[in-house]
Amino acid sequence: MIDINKEIKNAMLAKDSVRLASLRAIKTAFMLAETEKGASDLTIQRQINIIQKQVKQRKDAASIYQKQGRIDLAADEMAQVAVLETFLPEQISEEEIENVLKVIIADLGASSMADMGKVMGLANKQLSGQADGKFIAAKARQLLE
């Protein structure tokens, strides 16, 4: 489990404003997740999913800022992405993703795009937190076609 309060304290002591803003966003997201209806304790996997969502939001925002010519704001978002990614498991390589997908496809006997849902269900479980979902889907689609 991530000790977010300790991390925030360290960022404050270091006067690292980017890290502090990123950590406060994580803390807020954790607190919201804990208060959701039917929510249980925040498992490590759930924390990782929340942080991944935060990373995705910031990357999307950075992309929008770049399209609008606001490079300064895009750079701020990407700096926060860098901080958030330090709390995520190490991302696996494209080759490793492809190997996992090939094993899943062989195990399921998948042969066409009709099997995409089954393949993605298992792939998302096995690769959760280790790879971007869009990339996994694109690679699975490529292998099934």
Q: Which CATH class is domain 4-85?
A: mainly alpha
Could you read off the pLDDT tens digit of each residue along the chain, which spans 145 residues? 678 899 999 999 999 999 999 999 999 999 898 888 766 777 888 888 889 899 999 999 999 999 999 999 999 999 999 999 888 888 888 888 888 888 888 888 877 788 788 888 888 888 777 777 788 888 888 887 8
pTM to 2 decimal places: 0.73
What is d(CA 103, CA 20) in angstroms, rounded to the nearest whole number?
Answer: 41
Closest CA to 84 of 25, 134, 17, 127: 25
Amino acid at 63: S
What is d(CA 137, CA 11) in angstroms, rounded to the nearest whole number?
Answer: 36
For the domain made up of 94-144, give the CATH fold: Arc Repressor Mutant, subunit A (1.10.10)
Query: Looking at the chain, which residues constitute the CATH 1.10.10.410 domain(s)?
Result: 94-144
Dmax (CA) for the chain in angstroms is: 56
CB 29 within 8 A of CB 42: no
Query: Looking at the chain, which residues constitute the CATH 1.10.1510.10 domain(s)?
Result: 4-85
